Amino acid sequence: MRAQPTASHFVDGVYLEDTAGEPFDSIHAATGEVIARLHAATPAVIEAAMIAAERAQKEWASWMPVERSRVLRRVADLMRERNQELSELETLDTAKPIQETLVADATSGADALEWFASQAASIAGEAVPLGTDFAYTVREPLGVCVGIGAWNYPTQIACWKAAPALACGNAMVFKPSELTPLSTLKVAEIFMEAGAPAGLFNVVQGFGAVGAALAEHPTTAKVSLTGSVPTGGKVYTTAAAGMRHVTMELGGKSPMIVFDDADIEDAIGGAMLGNFYSTGQICSNGTRVFVQARIKDRFLERLIERTRAIRIGDPLDPETQMGPLISQAQREKVLGYIEAGKREGATLAYGGGVPTGAVYDDGTFIEPTIFSDVTDTMTIAKEEIFGPVLSLLTFESEDEAVARANGTPFGLAAGLFTRDLARAHRVAGSLQAGICWINTYNLTPVEIPFGGVKQSGLGRENGRAAMEFYSQLKTVHVGLGPVESPY
């Protein structure tokens, strides 16, 4: 593997350390090994990052769009060339299996950079004829954007934010979760290699307080957060005080509805992907699986059979399909939900415990878990668990399924499996979610917008829609006639 990051922060085109900042360790959750010691950003580091970003943004915005596009494209190419080493680092940082990180992290970041590179070259306003006069609009960058990320997809989150932000002519200061601080530093290095101005993409480390300091910094024009609903509320409030733009990618408790005419193996595949991929640590997971009563027994039986075959183990082993959770604290939280499920009367149909044996003893592993006989009022059906815990509920009619699916304050995603075309679109139209999948689940290609409704957030990442959230319109009205004044 190429060298690991050499200091905690990447500011103004170089690595930067300030040992006065609170120290913290990056731990490989599969073994408990410390893989790096870092320091949270001090006010001096934050200031340096904001000054560098402000300066770089002005330069970057003055470039020809096609030049900006070229740099973003080069970043994408370099990330793809280095996918193996970036994925290994991501696996050490997040403990997600290498078979996942090789296909879902640096590669999806590269997709975002490549796709928004093409958008960068085609930003334009419109001309509006006004009789004698006319007006035109200019789509302008916002300035310095702050990105704050969760720990499940650090590289992807950084790129999903940086790619549209930079395509629109902004600069970015990114703070990863302190649990996964390393991989975004390598992305920052690549930006420099690709020819971006120093300071265009900066990474500063730290806990919530650093995120809060960035969100309220006077230079910050926009804050884009990927995190939980409670953190979203705090960051939104801080941003509102300064009238700053926001994008909020928050949590969910998404429904997946399986009708009795569905291809059952596909539906089970979707339910497993939407509950067990990344050890269940995915915001859009379909954690409430509503299965039509007539097929429940068959569905559950095959679901258990296929879940039993999941290979849990060392995430660096290419055969491993499920790694540990990100931390001991997260495992305690998930085990607490499993206890609540049992206490409140759900049937533990599979898993629920911690695997034992030498491979598992020092890590934060957990078994993929299936509860059946879950009801809407149980804690496991209401709260986001962020672990591999699938809740199976049954329903009789379409109307009932839709009403119960919508009975949550969250609204990030939803899915449905059926062979009935009319019903598929009718139900998709009724579900309160930012994204609905029909006969598939959790696919998020860069070409399509992604984001939530209700408590799950606002704004959209990916797709052309994202450009709206990283730019603002200026209107210029050009008077060509005499000025009509009553005075």
250 in contact with ligand NDP (CB under 6 A): yes
Q: Which of 201, 386, 417, 441 binds ligand NDP (CB under 6 A)?
A: 386
Q: Which residue is nearest to ligand NDP (CB)?
A: 211
- Site track 403-432 with ligand NDP (rule: CB under 6 A), x = hit: ---------x--------------------
| Tokens 């004044």 -> residue | 485
- Label residue 168 exposed, middle or buried (CB < 10 Å: 0-12, 13-18, 19+): buried
Per CB under 6 A, which of residues 75..104 are in contact with ligand NDP?
none
Phi-psi region of 19 (alpha: psi -120 to 50; beta: other; left: phi over 0): alpha
> 94 or 418: whose CB is closer to ligand NDP?
94
Measured distance CA(61)–CA(381) in Å, rounded: 47
Residue 162 binding ligand NDP, by CB under 6 A? no
Nearest approach, Cβ of 42 to ligand NDP (angstroms)? 15
Torsion of CA 98, 103, 105, 109, to 10 degrees: 160
Q: Does 180 bind ligand NDP (CB under 6 A)?
A: no
CA-nearest of 204, 206, 208, 263 to 235 is: 208
* Contact mark string toward ligand NDP, 129..148, x via CB under 6 A: -------------------x
Question: Which region among 68-76, 175-183, 367-375, 479-487 touches ligand NDP (by CB under 6 A)?
Answer: 175-183
CB neighbourhood size of 4 (10 A): 15
**Which stretch in 53-61, 189-197, 226-234, 267-275 sits in contact with ligand NDP by CB under 6 A?**
226-234
Structure tokens at 43: 């006010």
* Per-residue b or e along 421-433, where b marks 16 or more CB atoms closer than 10 Å to that residue's CB: eeebeebbebbbb
Q: Are 280 and 335 in contact (CB under 8 A)?
A: no
Give the one residue of 231, 292, 372, 471 binding ligand NDP; rule: CB under 6 A. Answer: 231
List residues with catalytic annotation: 161, 249, 283, 461
Q: Which stretch binds ligand NDP (CB under 6 A): 111-119, 244-252, 264-272, 364-372?
A: 244-252
Dist. CA 462–CA 164, nearest whole Å:
8
- Rule CB under 6 A: say whether 15 interacts with ligand NDP: no
Closest separation in Å from C-beta 160 to ligand NDP: 8
Residue 392's Cβ-count burial label (10 Å; 0-12, 13-18, 19+) is buried
Please give the residues from 264 up to 303 whose contact with ligand NDP meets the rule CB under 6 A: 283
Q: Please choose, out of 91-99, 150-158, 239-247, 394-402, the segment that lies near ligand NDP by the rule CB under 6 A.
A: 150-158
Q: Provide the sign of the torsion angle of the four alpha carbons 42, 43, 44, 50, taken in this order.
A: positive
In whole angstroms, give the CA distance from residue 15 to residue 3: 13
Please count the other Cβ atoms lying within 10 Å of the Cβ belonging to residue 129: 8
- Any contact of residue 251 with ligand NDP (CB under 6 A)? yes
Amino acid sitting at position 68: R
Per-residue x/- marks for ligand NDP, 328-367, CB under 6 A?
Answer: ----------------------------------------
For residues 185-224, which are near ligand NDP according to CB under 6 A? 207-208, 211-212, 215
Distance of alpha carbon 185 from alpha carbon 176, whole angstroms: 9
Strands 255-258 and 288-292: parallel
Q: Which of 384, 385, 398, 471 lies at the binding interface for ligand NDP (CB under 6 A)?
A: 384
Binding residues for ligand NDP (CB under 6 A): 148-152, 175, 177-178, 207-208, 211-212, 215, 226-228, 231, 234-235, 249-252, 283, 384, 386, 412, 452, 457
